[in-house]
Amino acid sequence: MDRLKKIIKKVEMHMTASQIMVTGFALVIFLGGVLLSLPVCNADGKWLNFIDALFTACSAVCVTGLVTIVPAAQFTMLGKVILLLLIQLGGLGIVACTMAVFLILRRQITVRSRVIIQESYNLNTMSGLVVMLKYVLKGTFLVEGIGAFFYAFQFVPEYGFFRGVWYSVFHSVSAFCNAGIDILGETSLQQYQANPLVNIVTMGLIIVSGLGFIVWQDVTRTVKRIISREYTVGRALQKMRLHTKLTLCMTLVLVFGGALAFFIMEYKNPHTLGEMSVAEKWMASMFQSVTTRTAGFFTVPQGAFWEESKLLSCMLMFIGGSPGGTAGGIKTTTVMILLLNCWSVLKGTPDTECFRRKIPYYTVRTAFSVTLVSFLVMMLGTMLILLFEPLRFMDVLYESASAVGTVGLSTGITPRLCAASKLVLIGLMYMGRLGPVTLVLLFASKIGKNKNGRTLPEERVMVG
């Protein structure tokens, strides 16, 4: 045992923070796949096909929600508990969960561990990392507890006390972690299509977790300043971080803009919103707009959408949520930076600016890199699946966008895919959770350093 610890410690010392995160996720996914394939975890008492078990484990750890089986019917209680643990582990992140154990055991968190936490949450500084980690853990369990409490008003009367509480906890964790995996049946939340309580609680959990923990901290600080009258409302809002302002602005635009677009495009579709009342149409449209922020739950059958609505869903899924939270996608701030950069080019200004702040050049360059690499990965996955399957392009693109954005929405083709296509989606979910750029730079040791320490001559290239 001591020898094994020494080997692990030696390997850890020679691995970068990114390599530790990538390896950690891969190991947990593989272990989860093994556990979910065991007879004791499956309702029929037989071994689950390992590809399907691995797919489900990857979907849970990467908080995606795509499934090739029906979790409610496939797994025993033990299997569902393991599935819930994988979702929680994936939502918080392997690093955060490991460090949480250290905190519980009152073990010291080393400088190296602090660097890993910093990279895990994409923070600019190492100051206050342990405080931040405690805030993340307390905030997560508090919000999940609140969600479960309100879900219980629906599930306890419907399923009985113990089963209702279990359903409340499972779906609260799944919604908060943006996993979108349910244990209700094959139709997700369709049976609660007109239920305001389930809709509002689910949307609330998705939006709150999708904002990111850094935004939570900043908003909390701002509210305290206003309540204590330390600052006026205007001054307090002005003191908020640029990251928070960009996140909140883009979130509002995407959620309400997406809802309006779905309402208009699907208004007369008899298979989606057509037969609903106006109020129900608005609620379903809002839910669809919110769930594409990488949640995966649905109240309207995704395969019944018209093509333009599917394309809009693909765009929203590709964007996803915000950095530092449980959501996937290229992130709201990335898109906002790209739009601001385009606006600066159109205005003829040399810098990318917003709210009287200049956005650093390297941040703009990273935003372009993340977007381009994610788009190329999504299109490559789409082409590979089309190579293996005789399916329509839009349905396959929908599946690929859902996997890369770690959303989990599906037009219904996932269970019918061959093993090769499932492996492609596993790869897309894995890359989507970790970030394509992280994987590209995984083995880079001297990022941003010129080998010769010299500046090369500049030469212009025509664009546009």
pLDDT (tens digit, 9 = 90+) per residue, 201-241? 999 999 998 888 888 888 888 888 888 888 888 888 888 88
Cα atoms in the 13 Å half-sphere on the side-chain side of 129: 25
Which residue did the predictor score with more confidence, 97 or 302? Answer: 302
Which whole number is the average pLDDT over 95-106?
A: 57
Structure confidence at residue 11 (pLDDT): 52
Structure confidence at residue 462 (pLDDT): 66
Nearest to 61 by CA among 101, 96, 88: 88
Structure confidence at residue 105 (pLDDT): 52
State the pTM of this model: 0.88
For 20, counting Cβ atoms within 10 Å of its Cβ (0-12 exposed, 13-18 middle, 19+ buried), the class is buried
* pLDDT surpasses 60 at 452: no
Reported confidence tier of residue 277, pLDDT bands at 50, 70, 90: very high
Is 189 in contact with 174 (CB distance < 8 Å)? no
Rg (CA), the chain: 22
Question: SS3 for 463?
Answer: coil
C-alpha span between 51 and 31 (Å, rounded): 13
Question: SS3 for 359?
Answer: strand
Maximum distance among all alpha carbons in the chain?
73
CA angle, corner 143, sides to 140 and 146, nearest 5? 145
Is 266 in contact with 328 (CB distance < 8 Å)? no
Residue 16 DSSP symbol = -
Reported confidence tier of residue 158, pLDDT bands at 50, 70, 90: very high
φ/ψ bin of 325: left (φ > 0), alpha (ψ from -120 to 50), beta (otherwise) = beta
Q: What confidence tens digit (pLDDT) does each residue in 71-94 have?
A: 999 999 999 999 999 998 888 775
* pLDDT surpasses 90 at 39: yes
Structure confidence at residue 296 (pLDDT): 85
* pLDDT surpasses 90 at 42: yes
Least confident among 267-271, 272-276, 344-348, 382-386 = 344-348
Reported confidence tier of residue 22, pLDDT bands at 50, 70, 90: confident
Which residue did the predictor score with more confidence, 216 or 260? Answer: 260
Which whole number is the average pLDDT over 105-124?
A: 57
C-alpha span between 452 and 176 (Å, rounded): 48
C-alpha span between 319 and 331 (Å, rounded): 5
